[in-house]
Amino acid sequence: MSTAATARPETPSRRSIRWSSPLTYALALAIAAVSITPVIYVILGGFRTTPQLNADPAGLPDPWVWDTYGRVLTQGKFWTQAINSTVIALGTTIGVVVLGVCAAFVLARYTFRGREVLYTYFTLGLLFPAGAAILPLYLMLRDMDLINSYYAVMLPQIAFQLPVTIVILRPFLLAVPMELEDAALIDGSSKLGFFWRILLPLSGPALVTVGVLGFVASWNAFLLPLLVLNDVSLHTLPLGVQNFSTQYTSDTAGILAFTSLAMLPALLFFTLAERQIVGGIQGAIKG
Amino acid sequence: MSTAEQSLDLADRANARSARLRPAGGPFSRAARTRRKWYEIIGLTTPAVIVYSVFVLVPIGFAVYYSLYRWRGVGSPTEFVGWRNYQLAFEDPIFRDALWNNLIIVVGSLLVQGPIALGVALLLNRRFRGRAFFRLLVFVPYVLAEVTVGIMWRLILMRDGSVDTLLQALGLGSLVQGWLSDLPLIIWTLLFILTWKYVGFAIILFLAGLSNVPGELTEAAAIDGASWWQIQRHITIPLLGPTIRIWMFLSMIGSLQVFDVIWVVAAPSVRSLGAANTMATYMVDNGFFARLWGYGNAVAVILFLISFVAALLFQRFFLRRDIQGALTGRVS
C-alpha cells in the first residue's frame, strides 16, 4: 500500500485514482502523524535504555539496544500471558460464532410466533453498557466456582458479544435467496441440512467478520480479567502490561518494550483483517 | 412489506407446498413437521439465550437486590438498608465528581470527536493515491487495547517526559503542566487521550456512511457548478445524518461506561482525591477493592439506569428508523 503513495503520477489507464492537491496530502499526513507517532515512539523507545530515555525522552535510539526486548521476551511471564490471551480469545471467538450463527439462523429463516420478541431481547444488550453489571457478574461467577478459570472470562465475553453478532449476522442470512432454500428442501434436504451444507458455506465472510470482532474485543479486554483472574499464572497480556508498568515504574525502557510486544499482535491482526473489522462495524449499523 | 417478511412468507408457502406433496399421517405430517420446526428453533436458540441471559441480564437483577443491603460479600446479605446506599452515593462528593466527569466525557467526546471525524472522513473520502494507506494509519489507535493506550500516554505525558521536553525545546517551557497530577487539568488530559483513541471509530462509521452517498448526486451538483465545499455542506453531510446519529448513540453509551483508560492513566493516589474518577472506576474501587459490595452494586444500578434512560431517550428522539428494527424490534 505504501507503494501506491510513491507510484508514478497518473497514467491514462488509471485516471480514476489520481494525485490530489498538495493540501490534501499535507492534511492526510498530519492526521496520520497524530495517530501513529505515539505508537512509533513506544516501539522505538523499547530500543533505548532507561538512562537514555531519562536524559532525552524525545530522542531516537542511538545506538539501538536489543537487550530490553530480549529481556522481556525471555522472561516466562510474557509468553504465559500471550498464551492465556490467545486461548481465551480463541475460545470466545468460537463460542460467539457458533452460538451467534445458530440463533441468527433461526431469527432469519424461521417464521414463528415470538420471533421479533426474541430478536428484541437480544438487541436489548446494545442499549446499556455490559460493564455496568460487572460486580454482580463477579459474585455470580464466584458462586459458580469459576473464578480463576478461563471460563470466567470466556463465557461472559461470549454473552457480551452476542447482541452485536446477531445484529450483523441476521440481515446477512436473510439476504440469501429463498430459491436456494426451496431448491434444497424440494431435493429432500432438511432445513438443518440446508443450514449446514448451503447457508454456512455461503456465510463465510460474515462469520469471519463477527469472529474478528470477537477476537479483538477479547484480546483487548481488561476489566473482566482484572476482577476474575487473580491467579498470576492466568493473567492475560493487558493485565500483564499494566502490572509490569506499576511494578517496575523506574524501568521505562522495559515498560515500553513490553507494551510494544503486547500491541504487536493486535496491530498485525488489524493490518491483515482491516477489511473485516471495518466491514463488520459498518455492517452493524446498516443491519 | 419488507423483503424480509416476503421471504419468510415464501418460506412458509414452500413448507406448506412440500408438505402437501407428502402422504399425511407419517413422519412428514403437518403436526410432525411443526413439532420438528419447534425442536429446531428451541434447540438452536437455547444455548445463546441461556448464555446471554445468565451473563448479561440476570446480573443486573442481582445488582438491584444486593444494592439494598449493607454487605461485605461474605455469606448471604442480611443487613437490609433500603435506599440508604443510593443516598450515600449521591452524598459522596467523589461520586458526584465522577458523575460530572462522565458528563464531561460524554459531551466532550461528541463535541470534539464529531467535527474532527467528519473532517477527516470527508478528506479520506476523496479519491487520491495512497488513500487506503492513510485510512489504515488513522484506524490504528482504535484497535489498540485501552490498557496499551493508557500506559503509552502515561509515559509520554509523565513529568519531564517527551511532551515536556519537546515543549521546552520549542521554547514553550511555560506551557509545561502536571498533565497527570493537576486535579483540575487531569480530566481534560483524559478527554484528550480518549479522543485520540476513539476518533478512529467515528471515522470508520462516517466513511461507511459516505460510501452510501450516491455518486450521481454529487456529480450532478458538480456539473451544476457547485464547489467541493458546497457539495459537502448541502448534499453529503445531510445524507450522513443517520450515521452521525448512530455514532452519537454508541459514543454516548461508551462514554458512560469508560473504565480502562481512566484506571490505567490516573494513578490510584490521584483517583482517591476525586477529580479523575468515572462512575465505573468509582464502582470498582468501592465495590470490588474496598469490598463494599452493597454500595458498589448501588452505584452499578445508578450507572445502568442512567445509560438505559439516556439510550431510550436518544432512541426516541433521534434514532427511530436508523437502526432497522435492531433496537425497536420492528423489521421495517
Show the DSSP H helices in B92-180 as ranges: 93-125, 131-143, 146-157, 162-169
Over residues A252-271, mean pLDDT: 86
Closest residue in chain B to residue A225, using alpha carbons only = B260
Could you tell me if B221 lies within 8 Å of chain A, comparing CB atoms?
no
Per-residue pLDDT band for B330 (boundaries 50, 70, 90) equals very low
Position A284 pLDDT exceeds 70: no
Burial class (CB in 10 A: 0-12, 13-18, 19+), A137: buried
A35 vs B138: CB contact, 8 Å cut-off? yes
- B114 or B179, which is more confident: B114
Position B121 pLDDT exceeds 50: yes
pLDDT of residue B332: 32
Give the Cα separation of A48 and B76 in Å (integer): 53
Could you tell me if B122 lies within 8 Å of chain A, comparing CB atoms?
no
Domain boundaries in chain A?
69-286
Cis peptide before A238 (omega within 30 of 0): no
Over residues A190-218, mean pLDDT: 87
- Are A100 and B267 in contact by the 8 Å Cβ rule? The answer is no
Number of Cβ pairs < 8 A linking chain A and chain B: 334
Over residues B232-259, mean pLDDT: 88
Element (H, E) at B79: strand B79-80
Interface test with A, best of B39, B57, B66, B143 (most A CBs within 10 A): B143
- Give the position of cell 486461548: A87
For chain A, give the percent of residues with pLDDT over 90: 34
Which one, of B308, B309, B303, lies nearest residue B63 by Cα?
B303
Could you tell me if B285 lies within 8 Å of chain A, comparing CB atoms?
no
pLDDT of residue B106: 95
Task: Please give the CATH superfamily to which domain A69-286 belongs.
Answer: MetI-like (1.10.3720.10)
Element (H, E) at B69: strand B69-70
How many CB atoms within 10 Å of residue A33? 11
Q: Which residues of A touch B134 (CB under 8 A)?
A: 28-29, 31-32
Position A228 pLDDT exceeds 90: yes
* Residue B305 cell numbers, joined: 439506569
Instruction: Determine the residue type at B66.
Output: Y
Interface test with A, best of B55, B126, B168, B197 (most A CBs within 10 A): B55
Give the Cα separation of A156 and A139 in Å (integer): 13
Closest residue in chain A to residue B124, using alpha carbons only = A28
Per-residue pLDDT band for B328 (boundaries 50, 70, 90) equals very low
Over residues A254-273, mean pLDDT: 86
Q: Which residues of A touch B49 (CB under 8 A)?
A: 103, 118, 121
- Give the position of cell 470477537: A214
Which one, of A99, A98, A92, A89, lies nearest residue A269 by Cα?
A89
- B23 or B168, which is more confident: B168
Closest residue in chain B to residue A174, using alpha carbons only = B4
Closest residue in chain B to residue A110, using alpha carbons only = B8
Interface test with B, best of A41, A135, A194 (most B CBs within 10 A): A135
Q: Go through B274-288 and write b for each residue having 16 or more CB atoms within 10 A of its CB, e for each that does not.
A: bbbbbbbbbbbbbbb
Each residue of A115-160: pLDDT tens digit? 999 998 998 888 777 778 899 999 999 999 999 999 999 999 999 9
Instruction: Please tell me which of the candidates A28, A185, A241 has its beta carbon nearest to residue B134.
Output: A28
Could you tell me if B141 lies within 8 Å of chain A, comparing CB atoms?
yes
Each residue of A19-55: pLDDT tens digit? 567 888 888 889 899 999 999 988 988 898 888 877 7
Q: Which residues of B touch A68 (CB under 8 A)?
A: none
Indicate the angle between helix axes B3-21 and A178-186, nearest 10 degrees.
10
* Residue B137 cell numbers, joined: 494509519
Position B325 pLDDT exceeds 50: no
Per-residue pLDDT band for A92 (boundaries 50, 70, 90) equals very high
Interface test with B, best of A8, A35, A182 (most B CBs within 10 A): A35
Over residues B122-143, mean pLDDT: 85
Position B79 pLDDT exceeds 80: yes
CB proximity under 8 Å: B 150-169 to A? 151-156, 160-162, 164-166, 169
Instruction: Determine the residue type at B170.
Output: L
pLDDT of residue A51: 81
* pTM score: 0.85
Q: Please give the backbone phi and psi of residue B79, each rounded to the nearest 5 degrees, phi first.
A: -90, 90
Burial class (CB in 10 A: 0-12, 13-18, 19+), B3: exposed
Give the Cα separation of B225 and A77 in Å (integer): 64
Q: Please give the backbone phi and psi of residue B50, each rounded to the nearest 5 degrees, phi first.
A: -65, -50
Each residue of B282-313: pLDDT tens digit? 999 999 999 999 999 999 999 999 988 888 88
- B33 or B264, which is more confident: B264
Give the Cα separation of A103 and A225 in Å (integer): 27
Distances (CA, A) of B273 to A247, B87, B95: 22, 21, 11
Per-residue pLDDT band for B11 (boundaries 50, 70, 90) equals low
**ipTM metric:** 0.85
Could you tell me if B329 lies within 8 Å of chain A, comparing CB atoms?
yes
Interface test with A, best of B137, B153, B293 (most A CBs within 10 A): B137
Could you tell me if B191 lies within 8 Å of chain A, comparing CB atoms?
no
**What average pLDDT does the structure give for chain A?**
84
pLDDT of residue A172: 85
Closest residue in chain A to residue B142, using alpha carbons only = A35
Distance from CA of B184 to the nearest CA of A (A): 24
pLDDT of residue B26: 56
Per-residue pLDDT band for A283 (boundaries 50, 70, 90) equals low
Distance from CA of B188 to the nearest CA of A (A): 18
Give the Cα separation of B79 and B64 in Å (integer): 15
- Judged by average pLDDT, the poorest of A70-84, A141-155, A213-227, A265-279 is A265-279
pLDDT of residue A285: 62
Element (H, E) at B70: strand B69-70
Q: Which residues of A touch B304 (CB under 8 A)?
A: 128-129, 132-133
Per-residue pLDDT band for A105 (boundaries 50, 70, 90) equals very high
Distances (CA, A) of B184 to A21, B130, B188, B193, B270: 42, 42, 8, 16, 11
For chain B, give the percent of residues with pLDDT over 70: 87
* Residue B306 cell numbers, joined: 442512567
- Chain length of chain B: 332
Give the Cα separation of B275 and B53 in Å (integer): 36
Position B192 pLDDT exceeds 80: yes
pLDDT of residue A140: 92
pLDDT of residue A87: 96
A128 vs B304: CB contact, 8 Å cut-off? yes
